[in-house]
Amino acid sequence: MLRTITVGSCVSIQGTVVGNLPDGRISVQVGDKIYSGKPISTLNR
């Protein structure tokens, strides 16, 4: 599943979810790199 996370105060990264961390952050993979950050909430319409 594709998700967007924030890393720091103004950097957003979008990638495939590879894991959930116990503090509420998620990890996403972009190419061969894995980034962890706070997920951006989605709008349900």
Which tokens is 4 given? 């967007």
The secondary structure of the chain in percent helix, strand, coil, rounded to multiples of 5, reads 0, 60, 40
User: Is the pTM value of this prediction over 0.85?
Assistant: no
pLDDT at 34: 97
Place of tokens 């061969």: 32
State residue 45's pLDDT score.
64
2-38 burial by CB neighbour count: b if 16+ within 10 A, else e? ebebeeeeeeebebeeeeeeeeebbbbeeeeeebbbe
pLDDT tens-digit readout, 5-44: 999 888 999 999 999 999 999 999 999 999 999 999 877 6
